[in-house]
Chain A
Amino acid sequence: GQQLNQSPQSMFIQEGEDVSMNCTSSSIFNTWLWYKQDPGEGPVLLIALYKAGELTSNGRLTAQFGITRKDSFLNISASIPSDVGIYFCAGQVKNSGGSNYKLTFGKGTLLTVNP
């Protein structure tokens, strides 16, 4: 199946620092989504991107849909302790045929914020 390479696998930062993580693929994507998952909970949708080059913000979070349609990044500015969690990228592959609703997920970036 399709694969998403998400990096870094984990990050340890100090409160107040900015964070950047990204996802890349060899496939072209129609859609990029970014989720955050707290321990023992379901992922929560943070940002959805639908157009190549699109840059979207949600508070301190900013995500971009890469021009090549094969990558996306998520930035978190001025991190705070509650940013701790696992961040997942997910995408819908272009021309996936009858499986139009299926998403491919990255393996996640574990973020730890030291107060």
Chain B
Amino acid sequence: DGGITQSPKYLFRKEGQNVTLSCEQNLNHDAMYWYRQDPGQGLRLIYYSQIVNDFQKGDIAEGYSVSREKKESFPLTVTSAQKNPTAFYLCASSLGGGAYEQYFGPGTRLTVT
């Protein structure tokens, strides 16, 4: 089945530790995205990548980093510099080339204490 996978579903970390969230897609999509969702809020864009080896900051990139070494993979690292890391993180992908429909993974809930 084609789709987007995120792992793990739940992640717990101590404050001060970096943590990496996984996102993989087998849809052959060029573009990938990371969003953060807080209770009662819409989705806020962290980083996005339109093509392999290239990525841009979204609206709330501070305290996060990404890489795009492979088309299928777009991992997100939440660093210790992120002041409020506890949130629901969503990865998405789109075909690119002017196709705006984004398809989402199941999400990872990160809790930092």
B107 touches A103 (CB 8 A): no
Residues of A within 8 A of B96 (CB): 101
Judged by a CB distance under 8 angstroms, whether B74 is at the interface is no
**Chain A: interface size category:** 20 to 34
B6, B50, B100 — most chain A CB neighbours (10 Å):
B100
Partner of B98, one of A42, A45, A100: A100
A41 touches B107 (CB 8 A): yes
Q: How many A-B residue pairs have CB under 8 A?
A: 59
Judged by a CB distance under 8 angstroms, whether A115 is at the interface is no
Residues of A within 8 A of B100 (CB): 30-31, 33, 48, 92, 100-101, 103
Measured between C-beta atoms, what is the minimum distance from A40 to chain B in Å? 7
How many chain B residues touch the partner (CB < 8 A)? 29
Residues of B within 8 A of A92 (CB): 100
Measured between C-beta atoms, what is the minimum distance from A26 to chain B in Å? 17
A41 touches B101 (CB 8 A): no
In whole angstroms, how far apart are the Cα atoms of A99 and B59 in the complex?
12
Main secondary structure on B side of the interface with A: strand
Judged by a CB distance under 8 angstroms, whether B42 is at the interface is yes
Residues of B within 8 A of A105 (CB): 42-43
In the complex with contacts A100-B98, A101-B96, A1-B42 CB distance below 8 A:
no
Q: Of residues 3 to 51 in A, which have CB atoms within 8 Å of B's CB atoms? A: 4, 6, 30-31, 33, 35, 40-45, 48
A102 touches B48 (CB 8 A): yes
Partner of B104, one of A31, A42, A108: A42
Binding site for A on B (CB under 8 A): 4, 6, 31, 33, 40-43, 45, 48, 50, 56, 58-59, 88, 90, 92, 94, 96, 98, 100-107, 109
